[in-house]
Amino acid sequence: MKKDYLSIGQMSAINNVSTQALRLYDKNQLLSPAYQDPENGYRYYTIAQCDQLDLIHTMQVCGMTLEQIKKQFSEYSPESMYQSLLKQENILSSEIEKLNRHMHTVKRLASNLNKLQSLPPDGQITMEYLPSRRIDTLKTDIDLFDQEDFGYEIMLRKFKLHMLQNKLPLSYFVNAGTIIKKDDFANENFHSNTIFIFVDNNYPKSESQEDIPENTYLTLYGSDTKEELSYAQQMFSYIKDHNFKVIGDYVCEVIFNSAFGEKSMKYKIQVPIRKL
């Protein structure tokens, strides 16, 4: 017997692959022993077949199935392999994009939970610089303040339905809020029918997206949706009494909304201002 022949155990050992995997490749006609001893019926691999085994592993690492690999081997040409790899590149790019969206969700949830440890008391107005943020918006037929404490939840359900209908990634349906337009708030018209979610560059682009600009904001935290209207009125009075000018939309961001055990919520009212 030639010395470059390898038993299945030897092939397994030198390639750091299980004998079960080699038998699976043999069963699927991807890599079968090259020689069978006529005297004892034992089958052997050749050392040259290690290259083919390496290629199988590489294609599997790239996410290709055994069926796809078998097809490539049976129809092999440089052009078909190239086209197959391009297709796999697109598949992996899509998966990476999806994972980045999931990472966005995890980071935002973790950040919001971390904020809960150091927030000022509810109803206390503070001044804070906030960076630019990107949101996707939906205008509804619901007025937040006409629905008591159910307004936000009704608007939220409408946004979720909108996302499902438009095949938008639900991983972003985690950090939402509502808006009172600048002119409405500045004229003491507390009306809100626009709901939004925070998005990033991995979110599909649309005309409904806008930026919340970086600025100095007056902020106020609350825990009860029934109190938001009184907080909005309190914020308006504070701005007027301290000679500030409203220079952007009133934003109420829900930073935490949990249904585990007793329902709890924490939201953050934000109004961009400038000194008159």
CB 239 within 8 A of CB 271: yes
Task: Classify domain 107-275 by CATH number.
Answer: 3.20.80.10
Domain-wise residue ranges, the chain? 5-76, 107-275
pLDDT tens column, 213-236? 999 999 999 998 889 999 999 999
pTM of structure? 0.69
pLDDT tens column, 74-96? 877 788 878 888 888 898 888 88
For the cut 70, the answer to whether the pLDDT of residue 259 exceeds it is no
149 pLDDT band, cuts 50/70/90, is low
C-alpha 147/C-alpha 142 separation (Å) is: 8
Query: What are residue 195's DSSP bridge partners?
Result: 138, 178
Would you identify the CATH topology of the domain 5-76?
Multidrug-efflux Transporter Regulator; Chain: A; Domain 2 (1.10.1660)
Q: Can you tell me the mean pLDDT for 237-256?
A: 95
pLDDT score for 116 = 77
3 pLDDT band, cuts 50/70/90, is low
pLDDT tens column, 179-212? 999 999 999 999 999 999 999 888 999 999 999 9
Q: Tell me what the pLDDT averaged over the chain comes to.
A: 90
For the cut 80, the answer to whether the pLDDT of residue 111 exceeds it is yes
Burial of 100 (0-12, 13-18, 19+ CB in 10 A): middle
For the cut 90, the answer to whether the pLDDT of residue 267 exceeds it is yes
For the cut 90, the answer to whether the pLDDT of residue 256 exceeds it is no
pLDDT score for 260 = 53
175 pLDDT band, cuts 50/70/90, is confident
Query: In 62-150, where does DSSP find H-type helix?
Result: 66-74, 78-115
Q: Residue 178 CA to chain centroid, in angstroms?
A: 21
pLDDT score for 148 = 62
168 pLDDT band, cuts 50/70/90, is very high
